[in-house]
Homo-oligomer: A and B are copies of this chain.
Amino acid sequence: MNAEILAVGTELLMGQIANTNAQYISARLSEVGVNVFYHSVVGDNSRRLKECLNIALERSDVIIMTGGLGPTRDDLTKETVSEIFNRKLELHKESLQKIEGFFERLNRPMTENNIKQAYFPQDAIIIENAKGTAPGCIIEDKNKVVVMLPGPPSEMKPMFEDTLMPYFKEKSKYRIVSKYLRIFGVGESALEEKIMDLIEGQTNPTIAPYAKEGEVTLRITAKCEKYESPDEMMQPVIAEIKKRIGHAVYSVEDKNLEEVVGELLISRNITISLAESCTGGLLSNKLTGIPGISKVFNRAVISYSNESKIENLGVKPETINKYGAVSKETAEEMALGIRNASKTDIGLSITGIAGPGGGSEEKPVGLVYLAISHSEGTECKEIKVWGDRNRVRNVTCLYALDMIRLHILKGSY
């Protein structure tokens, strides 16, 4: 079974957005044993779309189309497919009701053109869209499968996960399953040296490392027949890797560091408060993105000004005068101060120089102090992060999260 992904949208051809949908769908299809042989992109133009669709039908078994399901005249996907397969567009009442309900909940009038989104080629299998007004659909015809999905990734992805992954799993003969081991605190080349023999010795499952801003991920991929268990194939390899690099593996489930830390805090009921300076709210934002965190996340102060450090966090003016706002001493007083003010188990602080301005020879851009205050004392860590403002802020948050994680894993709670 080979597949082609056909994206429809002039915005792609103008270079306004990258075709990340094709990347996402390709990765997911490969996991269920569907080979993607082609990607194509065509604009909102009826004739050219028809030609592309005909080429795709000629060479591919499965065609996944994204985009062109909106309410405007530009949106031509269903119209073109219905013409090619000679299937009339018919009103799907249930979809219409959902679209109407959608607008009702928003307390906005539904405009006439939205009705178009409830029309589908005859006998199409409808794919509900929980995040937007454009449902998708599947057409099975002459041994071909054509899938139509909306273009916005936030709508497309859940539809793909909920409906199409099971659909193709059912159709496919074998499975390719990957697990992602996420690692912080060991560089890519150091890691490779530690597990080189495993990487080279394995054929199924395979092990592939790749580096991402400040951290490394190992992808473990097993290919198996439907009746086999990929988990069983992967477990010994994962156990061996964990044996070699220990606590640096922070997730075997492709969770990111804030999810892991958020879940640790919530499950053990450890309360926390933050005092952020150079990260400007990024760490708060990451942690408060975890559902259920409000039980343990008390507050954060984004103390961009010295007054805020003094007033909200109880940092002594003489500490700032003597050592500077970016110093071990200020970081420690910030962590202690936010913990005292909020009466939480943990108080964590960040103060540093994110750049592009503000650096000096003594205190260069990328210098950051992190402090963690808890019932047994206050610890401070100095780090030097390379890169631009964004990278410094992002990587600093990883260090902060890992400090919290390692502190909790010490077993004081």
Q: A residues touching B (Cβ–Cβ < 8 Å)? A: 7, 10-20, 22-30, 36-43, 45, 48, 51-52, 55, 59, 70-72, 74, 102, 105-108, 111, 113-114, 131, 152, 154, 178, 180, 187-190, 192-193, 208-213, 219, 221, 274, 276, 279-285, 287-289, 291-294, 297-305, 307-308, 311-312, 341-342, 355-358, 384, 386-391, 393
Contacts and interface: CB of A to CB of B under 8 A. Distances in A.
Contacts of A38: 13, 40-42, 48, 52
Nearest to A36: B13
Residue among A285, A312, A388 with max Cβ neighbours from chain B (10 Å): A285
A299 B289 contact: no
A22 B14 CA distance: 10
Name which of A28, A107, A301, A389 has the most chain B CB atoms within 10 A of its CB.
A301
The complex is assembled from copies of this chain, and their number is 2
Contact of A39 (B39, B210, B291): B39
Given A13-B26, A301-B301, A308-B298, A193 B111 contact: yes
Contacts of A387: 131
Contacts of A303: 299
Contacts of A18: 18-20, 22-23
B74 A208 contact: yes
A28 B15 contact: yes
29 contacts: A11-B210, A12-B22, A12-B26, A13-B36, A13-B38, A14-B219, A15-B22, A15-B24, A15-B26, A18-B22, A18-B23, A37-B43, A38-B52, A40-B41, A55-B55, A74-B208, A106-B386, A111-B193, A113-B192, A152-B212, A154-B391, A280-B287, A284-B302, A288-B304, A297-B304, A299-B303, A299-B305, A300-B301, A312-B312
B308 A342 contact: yes
Nearest to A114: B189
A280 B288 contact: yes
A366 to B, nearest CB: 9
